[in-house]
């Protein structure tokens, strides 16, 4: 019991001491640190801006876009507007609600395009202060999971037949699909020259094969050319159009034209030679006819003079009148010996003249028509045959190449009225 009281007294003394110690510390002065204030004052957001603008939208076909734009001001004091927007896009001018429905009909009709970046301008403006406005833009792209391929289509059939020297020309058109053709490459199974390069849609392809294109080793005298036009879009998807051209062996028209001109020149030269020969023959016949006419006039004059003198009173005159008729008769064999009839020359001149007329007619009849006369070979061979036939027929006619007359003089003499009247056939 005594120990219990001692222990209790000790505890009370200890507690009293601790209380006095706390009390003594509580009376000590307290030093407080003043609260530090932020010296930078936070400014109020005063500039107009769009808080949730998305710079890039991708939209699937037949889907709907509904997006509300927000600003950092009271929206009741502002209005919204769009510029350069695609067909069907709208915005609520009061609350900035952007709506759009990508109907498939827009794409089928060509009003909208796949995989094309549409830049849409959007803006908001204060109703009271026009200077307070924001103009910005965003990009809108449409895509579809249904891909329509683009096709390369030439404006000709798949198979063509041409001759050497001809020109083939056609346009490369493109049937636009989901992704249009951006470039066209060209390939050929054989090396070709003189063709126009095709690089994009609506370009013209033109090619003219030379006359030496078809070789002698080619079967059926023709050569097959395969033209491949490969269209490529932005994703390197390819579409190939093949045109088969059968090139047939044909004549070398420039060479044939030179040969034709040479034939015509030879024919014209021979005609001029014949005209000069005709002039020589006609002059011989004309001179002989004048001589015979002179003898005939002398004979007639002598006979008439003898008749007149025989009736004269003088004996001498009568004697002369009897002699003169005999002299006239004696002139006849002299005429035949001095100026025999030029029947051969006359016939030769007529033959030469008819040959000249025929050759001139054939030359005019077989002249070329147009830039490329496809009957040039037939006409050239016809002229050669006529020239050869005339040369054989007139092989005995002497032709003097050393003519002292010009072409104009020969034509004037040949076409004169006297010559035409002399050699014209007369009806009985």
Identify whether the C-beta of residue 152 lies closer than 8 Å to the C-beta of residue 174: yes
Q: What is the DSSP string of 322-379?
A: HHHHHHHHHHHHHHHHHS---HHHHHHHHHHHHHHHHHHHHHHHT---SSS-TTHHHH
What's the pLDDT tens digit per position in 94-130? Answer: 999 999 988 888 888 888 888 889 999 999 999 988 8
Q: Where residue 395 falls among pLDDT bands split at 50, 70, 90?
A: confident
- Domain encompassing residue 117: 56-143
C-alpha atoms less than 13 angstroms from C-alpha of 404 in its C-beta half-sphere: 1
- Spell out where 209-273 has E strands: 222-232, 238-248
**Terminal-residue alpha carbon distance, the chain:** 200
Q: 0.85 exceeded by the pTM?
A: no
Nearest to 198 by CA among 176, 226, 170: 170
Is the domain of 284 the same as that of 383?
Answer: yes
Is 347 a domain residue? yes
* DSSP secondary structure of 101-145: E--HHHHHTTSS-TT--EEEEEEEEESS-TT-EEEEEEEEEEE-S
Q: Band of the pLDDT at 211, cuts 50, 70, 90?
A: confident
Greater pLDDT, 32 or 237: 237
* Whether residues 361 and 399 fall in one domain: yes
Are residues 381 and 273 part of one domain?
A: yes
CB contact at 8 A, 149 and 176: no
Pick from 240-244, 343-347, 355-359 the range whose average pLDDT is largest: 240-244
Instruction: Report residue 230's pLDDT band, with 50, 70 and 90 as the boundaries.
Output: very high
Q: What are phi and psi of 344, to 5 degrees?
A: -65, -45
Mean predicted confidence (pLDDT) in 3-18: 52
Least confident of 39-53, 163-177, 284-298, 326-340: 326-340
Judge whether residue 329 has pLDDT over 90.
no
In a domain, 204, yes or no: yes
Domain boundary among 228, 250, 272: 250
Residues 68 and 208 in one domain: no
Is a pLDDT exceeding 50 seen at residue 251?
Answer: yes
Mean pLDDT of 30-39: 50
- pLDDT (tens digit per residue) in 308-323: 556 655 656 556 555 5
Instruction: Indicate if 243 and 261 belong to the same structural domain.
Output: no
Whether 117 is in a domain gets the answer yes
> Which of 229, 250, 271 corresponds to the end of one domain?
250
- Cα–Cα distance measured from residue 138 to residue 119, given in angstroms and rounded to the nearest whole number: 6
pLDDT above 70 (res 286): no
Task: Check whether residue 120 and residue 233 sit in a common domain.
Answer: no
pLDDT of residue 24: 40
Dist. CA 305–CA 298, nearest whole Å: 10
Clarify whether residues 165 and 297 are in a common domain: no
User: How many distinct structural domains can be found in the chain?
Assistant: 3
- Cβ-Cβ contacts under 8 Å for 93 (sequence gap 6 or more): 79, 80, 81
Burial 136-165 (b: 16+ CB within 10 A, else e): eebebebeeeeeeebebebeeeeebebbbb
Strand partners, 397: none
Residue located via tokens 């021979």: 270
- Predicted confidence at residue 216, as pLDDT, reads 80
Does residue 234 form part of some domain? yes
DSSP code string of 63-85: -EEEEE--BSS-GGGEEEEEESP
Q: What is the pLDDT of residue 402?
A: 55
The rounded distance, in Å, linking the Cα atoms of 386 and 354 is 13
pLDDT of residue 6: 54
Mean pLDDT value across residues 310-338? 56
List all residues 6 or more positions away from 176 whose beta carbon is below 8 Å from its beta carbon: 150
Instruction: Give the model's confidence band at 401: pLDDT under 50 very low, under 70 low, under 90 confident, else very high.
Output: low
Shared domain check, 331 and 240: no
The residue among 83, 95, 81, 67 whose CA lies nearest residue 125 is: 81
Higher per-residue pLDDT: 144 or 168: 168
Confidence of residue 417 (pLDDT cuts 50, 70, 90): confident
Q: Tell me: pLDDT of 182 over 60.
A: yes
What is the mean pLDDT of the segment spanning 356-361? Answer: 88
């Amino acid at each position: 019991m005594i120990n219990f009281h001692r222990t209790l007294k000790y505890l009370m003394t200890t507690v009293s001491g601790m209380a006095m110690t706390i009390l003594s510390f509580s009376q000590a002065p307290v030093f407080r640190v003043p609260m530090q204030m932020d010296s930078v004052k936070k400014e109020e957001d005063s500039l107009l801006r769009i808080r949730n603008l998305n710079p890039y939208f991708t939209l699937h076909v037949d889907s709907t876009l509904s997006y509300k734009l927000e600003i950092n001001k009271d929206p009741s004091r502002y209005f919204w507007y769009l510029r350069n927007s695609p067909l069907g896009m709208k915005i609520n001018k009061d609350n900035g609600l952007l709506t759009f429905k990508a109907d498939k009909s827009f794409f089928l009709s060509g009003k909208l395009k796949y995989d094309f970046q549409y830049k849409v301008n959007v803006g908001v403006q204060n109703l009271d202060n026009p200077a307070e406005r924001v103009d910005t833009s965003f990009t809108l792209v449409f895509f579809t999971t249904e891909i329509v391929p683009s096709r390369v289509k030439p404006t000709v059939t798949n198979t063509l037949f041409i001759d050497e020297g001809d020109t083939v020309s056609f346009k490369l058109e493109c049937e636009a699909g989901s992704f249009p053709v951006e470039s066209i490459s060209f390939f050929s199974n054989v090396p070709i020259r003189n063709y126009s390069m095709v690089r994009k849609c609506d370009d013209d392809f033109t090619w003219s094969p030379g006359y030496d294109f078809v070789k002698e080793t080619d079967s059926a005298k023709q050569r097959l050319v395969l033209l491949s036009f490969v269209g490529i879009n932005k994703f390197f998807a390819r579409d190939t159009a093949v045109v088969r051209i059968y090139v047939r062996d044909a004549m070398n028209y420039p060479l044939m034209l030179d040969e034709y001109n040479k034939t015509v020149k030879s024919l014209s030269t021979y005609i001029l030679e014949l005209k000069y020969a005709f002039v020589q023959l006609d002059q011989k016949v004309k001179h002989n006819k004048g001589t015979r006419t002179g003898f005939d006039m002398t004979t007639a004059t002598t006979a008439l003079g003898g008749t007149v003198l025989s009736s004269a009173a003088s004996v001498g005159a009568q004697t002369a009148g009897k002699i003169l008729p005999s002299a006239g008769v004696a002139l006849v064999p002299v005429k035949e010996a001095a100026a025999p009839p030029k029947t051969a020359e006359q016939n030769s001149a007529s033959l030469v003249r008819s040959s000249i007329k025929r050759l001139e007619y054939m030359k005019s009849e077989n002249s070329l028509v147009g830039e490329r006369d496809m009957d040039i070979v037939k006409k050239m061979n016809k002229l050669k045959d006529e020239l050869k036939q005339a040369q054989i027929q007139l092989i005995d006619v002497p032709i003097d190449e050393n003519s002292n007359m010009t072409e104009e003089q020969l034509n004037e003499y040949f076409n004169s009225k006297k010559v035409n009247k002399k050699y014209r056939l007369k009806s009985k």
